[in-house]
């Protein structure tokens, strides 16, 4: 699939540099079976774009929602058995271990940031926060993202520096999403009040 720069002809030099920096970041990661393959980067004309391998079922959250549906008379797109969840979890864990070995913290581990292939193998995506964290100062690390808060570790909610264990916390929430076929975590807690329930 294609990942486009959010800006076209109106892109400033800084925005263009940021996009190219992200493309370079992806190329530096090198190949890993549980990360999408980088196929190429278009930089000589607008729109700027990054070409990645196509994964048929797209993001894991949408895939899990489809698994809930009644597929009478149709071939079901998935079979989310305990074994399947274990296999997918192992693949995502392998990608995290690889990123952590390179001293990257994603801060963005959730079902919507995982891509699902034709054979139901999964690959971790959503690496923009890891790149921004690499290139930003510590003071700019805390960008408020209410959508992500329910996946964030207590230290992230408290605006403390993220650690590799912060990704592991989010990975646990992702496993919950898989087991429940895409149920949102902590449904009875308002995102802004999560820290009241966390033990630091």
CATH code of the domain containing 152: 1.10.510.10
Give tens-digit pLDDT for 162-171. 999 999 999 9
Structure confidence at residue 140 (pLDDT): 44
Question: What is the reported pTM?
Answer: 0.85
At residue 62 the predicted structure's pLDDT band, cuts being 50, 70 and 90, is very high
Q: How many whole angstroms separate alpha carbon 28 and alpha carbon 98?
A: 13
Task: Indicate the number of domains in the chain.
Answer: 2
For 75, the 3-state DSSP assignment is coil
Which of 15, 32, 54 marks a domain boundary? 54
Structure confidence at residue 175 (pLDDT): 98
Q: How many whole angstroms separate alpha carbon 14 and alpha carbon 101?
A: 29
Q: Is residue 57 within 8 Å of residue 77, measured between CB atoms?
A: yes
Do 190 and 96 belong to one domain? yes
CATH of residue 48's domain is: 3.30.200.20
| 41 DSSP β-pair partners | 50
Structure confidence at residue 42 (pLDDT): 84
Q: Is residue 129 within 8 Å of residue 145, measured between CB atoms?
A: no
- The boundaries of the domain holding residue 33 are 1-54
Do 88 and 5 belong to one domain? no
Do 12 and 109 belong to one domain? no
pLDDT above 70 covers a percentage of the chain that reads 84
Do 43 and 60 belong to one domain? no
Q: Which two tokens stand for residue 187?
A: 């449904």
């Amino acid at each position: 699939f294609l990942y486009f720069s959010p800006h076209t002809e109106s892109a400033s030099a800084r925005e263009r540099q940021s996009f190219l920096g992200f493309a370079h970041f992806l190329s530096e990661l090198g190949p890993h079976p549980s990360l999408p393959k980088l196929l190429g980067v278009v930089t000589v004309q607008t729109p700027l774009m990054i070409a990645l391998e196509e994964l048929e079922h797209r993001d894991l959250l949408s895939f899990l929602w489809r698994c809930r549906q009644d597929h009478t008379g149709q071939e079901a797109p998935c079979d989310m058995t305990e074994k399947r969840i274990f296999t997918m979890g192992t693949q995502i864990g392998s990608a995290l271990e690889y990123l952590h070995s390179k001293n990257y913290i994603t801060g963005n581990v959730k079902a919507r940031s995982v891509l699902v292939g034709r054979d139901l193998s999964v690959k971790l995506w959503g690496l923009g926060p890891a790149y921004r964290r690499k290139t930003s100062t510590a003071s700019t690390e805390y960008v408020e993202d209410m959508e992500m808060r329910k996946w964030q570790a207590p230290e992230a909610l408290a605006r403390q520096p993220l650690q590799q264990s912060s990704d592991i916390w989010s990975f646990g929430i992702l496993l919950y999403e898989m087991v429940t076929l895409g149920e949102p975590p902590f449904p009875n807690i308002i995102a802004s009040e999560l820290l009241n329930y966390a033990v630091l």
